[in-house]
Structure 1
Amino acid sequence: MKVADITVADITVSGKVVDAQGGGLPGVSISIKGTTRGTTSNVDGTFQLSVTGPEDVLVFSFIGYTTQEVVVGTQTVLNITMAEDNQTLNEVVVVGYGTQRKRDVTGSIARVQGDDIIKYPVQTPTQAIQSKMAGVQIIASGQPNSQPQIRVRGTGSALAGVNPLYVVDGVLTDDIRNINNTDILSIEVLKDASAAIYGVRAANGVVIITTRKGKSGATQVRYDANIGFRQASNLVQMANRDQYISYLRDAAPNQNVSNPPLTTDQTVNWYDLVLRNAPQSSHNISISGGGERNTFFISGGYFTDYGVVNTNDFKRLTFRANNEVKISNKLTFSNQLSFSRGNERPVELGDTYRSVYRASPIVPGKVGEKYGNLSAFGNVGNPLLGIESRNQRILNNRFQGNVALDYKPVEWLRLHSGFNTDLVFNRDRTYLRSFENDANTFITAGGNQRRQNSQLSLTENKSLRYIFDNTVTFDKTFGKHGVTFLVGSVTEQFTSDFISGSRINVPNNPNQWYLGLGNPDQQSSNNSGGDLQTRQSFVSRINYSLNDRYLLNASIRADGSSKFRERWGYFPTVGIGWVISEENFMKSQSLFNFMKLRGSWGILGNDNIESSAYILTAAVNIPYFFNNGQTLGTAIQDIKDQQLKWERTEQIDAGLEFVMLGNKLSGEIDYYSKTTRDALAYRIIPAIFGDPDNQLLTNIASFRNRGFEFSLNWKDEIKKGFTYSIGGNLTLNKNELVGLNGGQALLAGSVGQQGLVTRTDNGQPVGSFYVLNAIGIFQNQAEIDASPVFGTRANVRPGDLKYQDINNDGVINTDDRIYAGSYQPKLYYGINLSLSYLGFDLAADVYGNAGNKIYNGKKAFRFENTDNIEAAYADARWQQDRPSQTDPRIITSATPASTYFVESGSFVRLNNLTLGYTVPSSVLSKVKIQTARLYVTSQNLFTAKKFSGFSPELQGGPLESGIELNAYPTTRTFAVGLNLGF
């Protein structure tokens, strides 16, 4: 019988699937590649399957084992031995100036693959890894072109910055908004002392991003796109017309509420007027391939996000070229080059959101071409007029990349020389249209919202950062001993300069928005400035392994920085590891496939301060009297600590990694203690020294973060073709200021008339809320007369807030404030689920935190008694015929900061829900497409929270985060997408 005559009925393939020890494997999936036909192995590992012909390829897959493909040919009996899948353990991770196998790493490193990032329609890759890494808190914003804040193992500084260092293909940067997500191969986060390899830049963790490169072989073309829209989620419902007027009778009794200057008898919803469903889209195409001597990867992308505010928009164009050329068998040239151009029309958060929240619901936003005049009603300016009369445009051009030569004279020695650069050109132009408060502009005349002169301001700045690194790496195995030794130098320089100017009475025509067409007078300005920073570093590291069982890692980096008079700092680290599963006493057990115990210690640095923080500067043209006459001179007017030095963070980490139950369950457990010493804080100095602020910035504080991290992931196959995985991570962190030696407690967090509401002091978390303790509501005059009150007793009425007299002096004042929690969560977590069956895939991510507090600043911020209120407060507030024990009758500009405005920040959110379908290859082969996947997705679909405001997830500096005052609305995204490969 000829092979060509074989039919389905003629060939039945049978056999047995076993593990490395020869034991039968039940439940192994056996399928014919490119079809939906297949079977599973029996309890003893045997199977039987009919095939269509000798060209069929059988695919053997089983969770925890490497997938195998076998061509049928003329075989009718196939006995298959499945090998355990140790890909996760043997995968290479980037550790800074080199790579290591995951199983050999002694530090705490989190990793996310680029294929997991591409599924999310977000601008920056860090948004896509939210919920996926223990110890890494990511605080996102719905504002277009905003960069999420990352906190690695808590907040370790107050004044020297808390953001991590980003390293993109060797380029050190603070901003990754220029990266196309589909270009990313992997993201690693160095969480522990292993980050000390980056010295004074590493105290807040290091995020290493590696982009894709070409591979030898046929040219690959890939197209990825998604399109959808964003909408504001969790909007706070404001009082309607009747609720608002009822409130005015208590809050503004002198206001004419019986016949106010109204032009509408309907409730005006200002959020509906200012916000919209905003379209967003992303299109990316890449081409990769190469031959024996060279490989290439070229990509281009276009991203748009119009923002949920009517006048907001952002567009970004990206281009990347990654190439590698083998000049000879020993010498290789490589480059990773990228260009991005961003075009943004932002919105001014303070005026926009504060005004929308406070705007009266009885004045229309706009009728025809005329605006409702809220200011004539004693209220805020018209938010619609505010955003429509403001036109700001920011253009950003950025070149980033590196070129490198690698020389390997012998297999075990590598010499690397790379030049990395980051060049930014930025142009910011703002035009404010003039308008008058007359009948031609407003529905009702009068009020104080006016701009008599148009205003144009322009700022152009550029910056250049270059890094020249040279390293030598020795990597050799001597029998049972493996040694990798690295030594090198890093030279870095950063320069920047800007020029700015402003003019008035510039014409309204956009084609004439030039400074030269305006009037130079007292309202105009001109300015310029710049900065120069340099660093010189030397680095060395040794990795040693014995029998792939006992591991040692040690490194030291010496950094010289221009930001300090004491130029040099030294940052060592040591890590050890024990692969327990390689011990002989573990060979007979079958529970654990892999187990490693590791620990590390090291010192990291932070030099993120102003370049001139220690340099005395002189003020010029100061008048003084000499010989009975006045002259002009120069004098030093501030006091600076000329011995300023970098903050030093000592970190200890201990961890256990394991894989068990046939490679189905994997996990990590970590304990860490991170203490920052020599942290910057202010010390009070006598006014006689002449400093205008009476304070000195110096190294006198210490911060500590201690916590645990837990990660678990389970993956399995229920039946043929039905695989799933579920994973989760949990981080527990305690943050506190443990030593402020002689310094002034740091006050921050301005909330309008309430002043500063946070205080950072000994024994408390950074950015703790420091306010009066509200303990109820005065119900009658007798209670008022019998209790201490805030302010003048004659101004206190039934229905006002009651405060606790902490020091029992019979007076309520600022001495009675208490610490009422911090924005920093005590724990945060993520849960990740994925399912796959017959080409369909479903993914869901849940993210949340608990134990943190939020200050409802927008509710507390009231300069006018005619400001609107929230609907929930309107229903709950104290009234004579409806007393309340929790909510006061009114909130005015005289209401002090108190626990009444402090709320729980705990929340849990369905961060992502994606359903996809991969078209079978048998269908695609007819149209010459290799892969095709369609998907629908939603981000931030649902949030369960206790906070009554917009969002408990708020960005801000380390001293004033957690205050909702002008936050951009949280957005929900719906999108459809396509991934194609040719």
Structure 2
Amino acid sequence: MKVLITLCLMGMFYLLAPPGAVGQNNAVTISGLITAEDSNDGLPGVNVVYKGTTTGTTTDQDGRYRLSVPNANGTLVFSYIGYATQEVSIGNRTTVNARLVADTKALSEVVVVGYGTQRKKDVTGSITSVTADEIKNQPASNVETLLQGRAAGVQITQSSGAPGGGLNVRIRGGSSINAGNEPLYVIDGIPVYNNDKDPSGTSYGTFTSTNALASLNPDDIESIQVLKDASATAIYGSRGNNGVIIITTKRGKNGRTNVSYNAYYGTQQAVRKLDLMNGTQHAEFLNDWAEASKITKPFADPKAIGAGTDWQDQIFRSAPIQNHQLSVSGGNGNINYFVSGNYFDQQGIVINSGMKRYSLRANLDGKITDKLKFSQSLTYNRTVTNSLPLANAGDGNIRSAAERAWVTSPTIPVFDATGQYVNTWYGALKPESPVAALESTYSQVSGDNLLGNVSLDYQIIEGLTFKTLLGVNLLNRGLDEYYPGATTYLGGLFNGLGVLSSKRVTNILNENTLRFARVINEKHNIEVLGGFTWQREKDLESATQVSNFPNDRLGVNGVGGATGVPVVTANNTEWSLASYLGRINYQFDDKYLLTASFRADGSSRFGSGSKWGYFPSFAVGYRISEEPFLKNVIVINDLKIRAGYGLTGNQEIGSYQSMARLVTNAIYIFDNKLASGSRQSSLENRELRWEKAAQYDIGLDLAILNNRLKFVFDYYQKTTQDLLFTINLPSNSGYSTALYNTGSVENKGIELSLDGTVIDKAFKWDASLNFARNRNKITSLGRNASTTLFVGYPAGVIQGYIYEGVFHNQAEIDAQTVQKGVVPGDARYQDVNGDGVLNATDRVILGNPLPNYIFGFTNNFSYKGFNLRVFTQGSIGGQGNRLAALFNPADVSSNKSIDLVNRWTPSNPNSDIPRAGFTNWLAPSTFTLQDMTYVKIRNIQLGYTIPAKAIPFLSSANVYLSGQNLFTFTKNYSGYDPDGGMNYPTSRTVILGVNIGF
């Protein structure tokens, strides 16, 4: 015990003693300039340590240092992130300069973590890095697209292929059922959650919100770090439950001014078309349907119609895409700067859709005094999006953009004999000309976004720094929407329908952190971080919906002449979050690693007695490669095992969910007169608290063959408890649902990453592969008596009937007693429970919407000035439903899949596809089930770097040809794209681009 106490006291003395306090009998002051090998500009922030002691300092913004050392016969050690450590003997000199050599290996292994940076080899958590080189020259309107397939365990699916359309991002699976599942984004230190930031459309669900992150310019991104396990994300506490994506934008560096211009132009087309019936085939189907329904056949001669109208060709188009970026960067030691301007224009592949983005960025770093530094990141973005309905919403009066292409019968021409659009057809429930409706509908959302921060760093004493940051995220968005009475079904119902709405979001952030770092005897590296943060957001939204316009000429601008009763709505919400955080990083002998963090979050969204949540984490690492028995093994460069455990939370439920809320549109009758009033719409829940996830992670990092081959493996298990779950209430309570903490979900899986240089000669070949498997299941439903969620299965499983073909003849019908009233050609389903009756109790779980595996595979080939990159991404397993309307033989309101041409008919009695007009249609079933497996050639890019001497006034020049979503391989998938939705097809893009440096 005495020995332990003595060691602790000695450690505290070395830790707290001022630099140079140990042994200064013959102190000498040394000064000098530290530069890079290839530049005369000083390097700021270089660590300078007198070898064998704790005495040290860092260089100033000019790369200069002054250090008092015990004597002039020792050695100085210079270390800097991205450069090889260098030792220089003092040799009785008072001036010691050094030129550091860039260490490309070290540069590639510096990662951004929460509230700081770390060397990759010191990281104990699970973090994946995506650099600017990996994502440059990619035609993308948002950051999520750049990540797709590039980080193990990150699944990104498109809910829409529309410009600015939404994407779903899941890191290690979905952790919640009713609360948010999106990760937290941290953009230059500002936490941003990608939820709906658009104003509302009409009350009929006409508008689908755009991607809130579409306003961020991808060309400004320097790196993306994906924090996946609790050790890495717990520092963000309440919002780390679904992972954290840290986005760092480009900044200026010391040296001459660099001017660069990047541009590309390309064209887009739908990845594929649906295989639908042509005019003759659909006419024959409608005749069969009419005959089965015992009504007059609508077409006397189906063959006379021929191919008819291909509505997909009428609605989809080839659309241009272009991007232009001009940036200026540099620095002189006192101030470094990066300034850029960007213009992005993506026209949609569906007529009358598209998005434009205008961006300005200014990032500055500099020093006020030797101890006081400032940093500023500021970007302004304006987006203008021509939007289209992307889903059947509201009362079903609105069709999605793509739905119009397959709903409309090909038997109908675009124009009638007089040149007018044809607005009706056989079986149409909501007649309108798809082309006229899309061209005349006006739905434009425009938005301004100011995102930025300013911070100050003050060095109190050597190794102790205080940082304060003030950030803002300001959004101002407006929506103008109009459905003409003459050309749209919905507009015709209301003689013109329009809405004017706006939304203002003000988000303010303040962070204050204190960081202490000290190296003791060259073996003990200690970093302690502590801080307090505060964030508040206020949302103001208003909308005015009007109808009964005098005409369609002015569109929504004619609102002043509309005579319909206006519907006015307004919402004012706000939330705030206060947090205390702390973290300790400790490395001993570059071998033993320890990270511990703690965060306490208080959220306004929870009950009065449950606002605070506490989120600790702990992780250790062991670099086995530093052991003597492995140090001399030339083939192994790095071998590290790591393990971590921690808690994270989730608060994404919206505001005021714990309170009893009122609605003010209640109508009552007093004295035989209508009177407006209020009523309570939800129950109070003072105990509503944090949804928490406990996660452990075990990982291995390996680098061999002079770092030519790197391997990363992770196994994890995450259990989310106290789910923020919407449960059904008894009808006699007066309420239908309520939000409670109940139930649990489990995710567990493995992740593999493999990076290597296959050939490293004049011809070079680099390859990168990532692979992940996640298993998600509900482990408890708690108080929720759901009929669509099942313990042991993930949310969203497909439940339905087992399809057994059709009754081919009357003999097969007579041989069974389960299905009554059927005739030859009707569908046959399995009586699963064997009770002799076909009903809802015969439904079984048919499929899992989640894939078994996801992967990404990148190959880079280079020879002299040429470079070829091939990026493949895929998803293996998982099931989905085929679009029911296209495969339902009982439906007459839309076109049909080409598969139904082979339906049962008296002349085709051996078919296993039901006859037209069949009415005993049960879905979902194994008939509508389809495999969602796909492999995509996500990107192929061929580039050429023009020699610098070829064009004297240029410092660099590169031209490239790039193709996006070129090929998709699936197992008979019937939709547009297994990676996207059915509401707006994804696009195949080919672009030609150039990067020029001056």
The TM-score with structure 2 as length reference comes to 0.83
What is the aligned partner in structure 2 of residue 976 from structure 1? 992
Residues 1:328 and 1:869: Cα distance change in structure 2 (over 3 Å)? same
Partner residue of 1:190 out of 209, 215, 227: 227
State how far apart, in whole Å, the 2-side matches of 1:852 and 1:259 are: 44
Q: Is the 8 A contact 1:89 1:102 kept in 2?
A: no
Distance in 1 separating the partners of 2:947 and 2:701: 37
> How much has 1:89 moved relative to structure 2?
7.7
In the aligned structure 2, how far is the partner of 1:857 from the partner of 1:240? Answer: 18
Identify if the C-alpha distance between structure 1 residues 627 and 323 changes in structure 2 by more than 3 Å, giving closer, same or farther.
Answer: closer
Distance 2:457 2:275 in 1: 61
**Pair 1:690 & 2:709 matched:** no
Structure 2 match to 1:787: 816
- 1:514 aligned residue: 557
SS at match of 1:615: coil
Aligned to 1:838: 864
**CA shift for structure 1 position 531:** 0.7
Contact 1:564 1:614 in 2 (8 A): yes
**Residue 583 (structure 2) pairs with residue 541 (structure 1):** yes
**Structure 1 residues 284 and 640, CA gap change in structure 2 (3 angstroms):** same
Structure-2 change in CA distance of 1:516 and 1:549 (3 Å): same
- Amino acid in structure 2 at the alignment position of 1:394: V
Question: In 1, are the aligned partners of 2:252 and 2:337 still within 8 Å (CA)?
Answer: yes
Match of 1:948 in 2: 973
| % same residue | 34
Q: Note the 1:759-774 alignment, pairs <5 A.
A: 759-774=788-803
Residues 590-629 of structure 1 mapped to structure 2, 5 A cutoff: 590-619=634-663
What is the match of residue 805 of structure 1? 831
In structure 1, the partner of 2:942 is: 915
- Note the C-alpha offset of 1:252: 2.5
Q: Does the residue aligned with 1:434 lie in a helix, a strand or coil?
A: coil
- Mean Cα deviation higher: 896-905 or 270-279: 896-905
Partners of 1:920 and 1:620 in 2: CA distance: 70
Partner of 2:173: 154
Partner of 2:21: none
Aligned residue for 2:214, secondary structure, equals: coil
* 3-state DSSP of counterpart to 1:889: coil
Q: Which amino acid aligns with 1:584?
A: P
CA distance in 1, matches of 2:831, 2:178: 33
Aligned 8 A contact 1:261 1:377 in 2: no
State which of 238, 261, 267 in structure 2 corresponds to 1:223. Answer: 261
CA-to-aligned-CA distance 1:330-370 (integer Å, 9 cap, x gap): 10111100000001111112413223212111111235751
* Structure 2 match to 1:469: 511
Instruction: Confirm or deny: 8 A CA contact 1:660 1:666 kept in the other structure.
Output: yes
CA contact (8 A) 2:887 2:900 kept: no
1:626 and 1:435 mapped to 2: Cα distance? 41
Asked if the contact 1:737–1:765 (Cα under 8 Å) also holds between the matched residues in 2, the reply is: yes
2:288 corresponds to which of 242, 250, 270: 250
Q: Which of 453, 458, 468 is 1:402 aligned to? A: 453
Residue 159 of structure 1 aligns with an amino acid whose one-letter code is N
The CA distance in 2 between the partners of 1:452 and 1:892, in whole Å, is 35
Residue type at the aligned position of 1:152 = I
Deviations 1:908-956 (A, max 9, x none): 01000000000012213x2x1011010001011001101432245356x
Distance in 1 between the 2:624 and 2:943 partners?
A: 40
Cα distance change, pair 788–923 in 1 and its aligned pair in 2 (3 A): farther
Partners of 1:179 and 1:744 in 2: CA distance: 42
Mark the CA change 1:633 to 1:287 in structure 2 (over 3 Å): closer, same or farther: closer
- SS of the equivalent of 2:927 reads helix
Q: 1:372 aligns with which of 405, 419, 422?
A: 422
Deviations 1:755-777 (A, max 9, x none): xxxx3221111210011111222
Q: Does 1:657 pair with 2:657?
A: no
Question: Secondary structure at 2:213's aligned position in 1?
Answer: coil
Residues 425-466 of structure 1: per-residue CA shift (max 9 Å, x gap): 0000011122179xxxxxxxxx99945612221101100111
Quote the offset at 1:902 in angstroms: 1.1
Is the Cα–Cα contact under 8 Å of residues 240 and 650 in structure 2 kept in the other structure?
Answer: yes
Aligned partner (choices 666, 680, 685) of residue 641 of structure 1: 685
Q: Post-superposition shift, 1:828? A: 0.6
SS at match of 1:155: coil
Q: Are 1:828 and 2:879 an aligned pair?
A: no
Distance 1:893 1:981, change over 3 A: farther
Q: Could you tell me which residue of structure 2 aligns to residue 287 of structure 1?
A: 328
**C-alpha contact (below 8 Å) 1:556/1:571 kept by paired residues:** yes
The letter of the residue matching 1:546 is F
Task: For residues 251-284 of structure 1, give each alpha carbon's deviation from its aligned partner in whole angstroms, at most 9, with x where no partner exists.
Answer: 2222533348999654210000011001000000
* 1:621/1:349 CA distance change after superposition, 3 Å: closer
Contact 1:359–1:380, Cα closer than 8 Å, also in 2: no
Number of equivalenced pairs: 865
Mark the CA change 1:220 to 1:862 in structure 2 (over 3 Å): closer, same or farther: same
In structure 2, the partner of 1:872 is 898
Pair 369,305 (structure 1): closer, same or farther in 2 beyond 3 Å: farther
* Pair 954,788 (structure 1): closer, same or farther in 2 beyond 3 Å: farther
In 2, are the aligned partners of 1:860 and 1:891 still within 8 Å (CA)?
no
User: Are the aligned partners of 1:221 and 1:286 in contact in 2 as well (CA < 8 Å)?
Assistant: yes
Instruction: Tell me if the contact between 1:504 and 1:518 (Cα under 8 Å) persists in the aligned partners.
Output: no
Q: Is the 8 A contact 1:343 1:393 kept in 2?
A: yes
In the alignment, residue 564 of structure 2 is paired with which amino acid? D
Aligned residue identity for 2:984: Y
What letter matches 2:380 in structure 1? F
The one-letter code matched in structure 2 to 1:502 is Q
1:782 positional shift: 2.7
Q: Aligned ranges for residues 725-744 of structure 1 at < 5 Å?
A: 725-744=766-785
Alignment partners' CA distance in 2, 1:227 and 1:627: 69
Q: 2:143 aligns with which of 125, 147, 161?
A: 125
**Rounded Cα–Cα distance in structure 2 between residues aligned with 1:892 and 1:425:** 52
CA contact (8 A) 1:433 1:451 kept: no
Deviation at 1:724, TM superposition (A): 0.9
Could you say if the C-alpha distance between residues 365 and 933 of structure 1 is closer, same or farther in structure 2, counting changes exceeding 3 Å? same
Q: Are 1:574 and 1:600, in contact at CA under 8 Å, matched by a contact in 2? A: yes
Over 3 Å counting, the alpha-carbon distance change for 1:622 and 1:464 in structure 2 is closer
Would you say the 8 A contact 2:278–2:308 is kept in 1?
yes
In structure 2, C-alpha distance between the alignment counterparts of 1:380 and 1:521, rounded to whole Å: 22
Query: In 2 relative to 1, CA 822–809 (structure 1 residues): closer, same or farther, beyond 3 Å?
Result: same
Residue 361 of structure 1 pairs with residue 405 of structure 2 = no
- Residue 267 of structure 2 contacts residue 319 of structure 2 at CA under 8 Å; is this kept in 1? yes
Aligned CA-pair RMSD: 2.7
Would the alpha carbon gap of residues 338 and 891 (structure 1) be closer, same or farther in structure 2, given more than 3 Å must change? farther
Q: In the TM superposition, what whole-angstrom CA distance separates every residue of 1:888-908 from its partner, at most 9, and x where no partner exists?
A: 223767522112111100110
Hey, what's the Cα distance between the residues in 2 that align with 1:238 and 1:663?
Answer: 53
TM-score by length of 1: 0.84
Structure 1 CA distance for aligned equivalents of residues 669 and 357 of structure 2? 58
The reply on whether 1:553 has 2:595 as its aligned counterpart is yes
Partner of 1:707: 749
Aligned mates of 1:177, 1:605 — CA distance in 2: 26
1:110 alignment counterpart: 128
2:954 to 905, 924, 929: 929
In structure 1, give the amino acid aligned to 2:831: D
**2:199 — aligned with what?**
none
Q: CA deviation at 1:640?
A: 4.3
Counterpart of 2:710 in structure 1 is 666
Paired with 1:111 and 1:422, the residues of 2 have a C-alpha distance of 25
- What SS does the aligned partner of 1:835 have? strand
- Contact (CA 8 Å) 1:595, 1:656: kept in 2 or not? yes
Asked if 1:429 is matched to 2:480, the reply is yes
549, 568, 571: which one aligns with 1:526: 568
Deviation of 1:722 after TM superposition, in Å, equals 1.1
Deviation at 1:682, TM superposition (A): 3.5
Letter in 2 for 1:828: I
Instruction: Quickly say closer, same or farther: Cα 1:483–1:869, change in 2 above 3 A.
Output: same
Which residue is 1:570 aligned to?
614
Alignment of 1:79-118 (within 5 A): 87-88=105-106, 91-118=109-136
